[in-house]
Amino acid sequence: MANAILKNNFNFSGQKNHYEGKVRDVYNIDDKLLVMVVSDRISAFDVVLPAGIPYKGQVLNQIAAKFLDATKDIVPNWKIATPDPMVTVGKFCEPFKVEMVIRGYLTGHAWREYKAGKRTLCGVTLPEGMKENQKFPEPIITPTTKAEFGHDEDISREEIIRSHLVCGMDYQILEHYTQELFERGTEIADEMGLILVDTKYEFGKVGDKIFLIDEIHTPDSSRYFYKEGYKERQNNNEAQKQLSKEFVREWLMEKGFQGKEGQKIPEMTEEFVNSVSERYIELYEKITGEKFIKSDSTDILNRVEKNTSDYLKNYK
């Protein structure tokens, strides 16, 4: 198995603090820059799994960088540079405490809620008589709270504004950006023979200006179906062929794990880990139309530290 980054604890020049998320490690440089190291950790059901996935961090970082560049005409974003395949350096933003989830199809969490009998999700009324993986008449926005630990929670637009998580004027802008970004992502996916099923966006502020932050249109934040055969599979009530992290969730559920108290994470064999790595690389190549070039994995931690430190020294 190739080397993978599970933990990192760098000490960059000007570093004020270091935050370890489920997948990303974020370093605050003088309240001016953020260094985001995308690790090879993988999470599901808001639980970080014990094994790292080779090249996953590189895949996520490079897809996000590509889509940040492809959408900067819609909304300004935090990215300044990618000094290493697993690192993005960007503007220090104050993040909003909500994630903007947008869904074009009834699948994943939304389907599980629907199958359980719920017809309202985050204040949005869902049509009766829908099938799993069916397209909504129009994409729906179903925000969640952004939890530092544990599970993100569904929340409605009204609850967000009432609880002052986001003011009404800013929230309208976030909804507009979310719809525009999803439309662009859908168009790009369509050109590559994919369907962008659902995704999430995160935003932050510098002063009064809103920026798109974090990742965008990666297999960790998004779900993709293959366009070819979608209608036939849907008509035959067959599972959709998809490129996303959902297959990891399905594998865990098959083995009796959904992140609930008392449940034990199943063993992640080398064969399974490598199959997950291959799926991430497949999505990279499919969504970007580019061949994935594996970075040198002989001493990843030193490589990341050197490339990032060299960039910060020369940044003006």
Share of the chain above pLDDT 70, in %: 97
pLDDT tens digits along 105-155: 999 999 999 999 999 999 999 999 999 999 999 999 999 998 655 567 999
Mean pLDDT, range 288-293, rounded to an integer: 95
What does the pLDDT read at residue 297? Answer: 87
pLDDT at 2 exceeding the cut of 70: no
Decide: 227 and 193 in contact? Cβ < 8 Å: yes
Confidence tier at 204 by pLDDT (50, 70, 90): very high
Grade residue 48 by pLDDT with cuts at 50, 70 and 90.
Answer: very high
Closest CA to 52 of 227, 276, 306: 276
Residue 1 has pLDDT above 50, yes or no: no
Task: Tell me the whole-structure pTM to 2 decimals.
Answer: 0.90
Q: pLDDT value at position 243? A: 80
Q: What is the mean pLDDT of residues 299-316?
A: 94
CA count, 13 A, side-chain hemisphere, 252: 23
DSSP symbol at 166: S
Which of 131-135, 201-205, 268-272 has the least mean pLDDT?
A: 268-272
Residues of the chain with pLDDT > 90, as a percent, come to 87
Q: Tell me how far apart the alpha carbons of residues 290 and 241 are, in angstroms, rounded to a whole number.
A: 21
210-267, pLDDT tens digit by residue? 999 999 999 889 999 999 999 999 999 999 998 878 789 889 999 999 999 899 999 9
Q: Strands, DSSP E only, in the chain?
A: 15-20, 24-29, 33-38, 43-44, 47-48, 79-84, 87-91, 94-95, 98-105, 120-121, 124-125, 135-141, 144-145, 194-206, 209-213, 222-226, 242-244
User: Is the pLDDT reported for residue 57 higher than 90?
Assistant: yes
Q: Using CA atoms, how far apart are residues 37 and 99, in angstroms rounded to an integer?
A: 20
Q: Is residue 64 within 8 Å of residue 216, measured between CB atoms?
A: yes
d(CA 273, CA 53) in angstroms, rounded, equals 6
pLDDT (tens digit, 9 = 90+) per residue, 157-170?
A: 999 999 999 999 99
Calculate the alpha carbon distances from 86 to 213, 231, 274 in Å.
16, 37, 19
Mean pLDDT of 33-41: 97
Q: What residue has token string 């933990």?
A: 7
- Residue 52 has φ and ψ, to the nearest 5°, of -85, 155
* Residue-averaged pLDDT of the chain: 94
Q: Is the pLDDT of residue 23 over 60?
A: yes
Kindly state the average pLDDT of the residues 89-99. 96
- DSSP of 188-250: HHHHTTEEEEEEEEEEEEETTEEEEES--S-TTTEEEEESTTHHHHHHTTPPPPEEETHHHHH
Amino acid at 91: K
How many angstroms separate the CA atoms of 259 and 163, rounded?
28
Q: Which of 74, 70, 73 is nearest to 62 (CA)?
A: 70
Residue 35 makes CB contacts below 8 A (sequence gap 6+) with 12, 26, 27, 29, 87, 88, 89, 308, 312
Domains of the chain by start residue, with CATH: 15-94+269-314 (3.30.200.20), 98-240 (3.30.470.20)
pLDDT at 190 over 80: yes
> Phi and psi for 91 in degrees, rounded to 5?
-65, 145
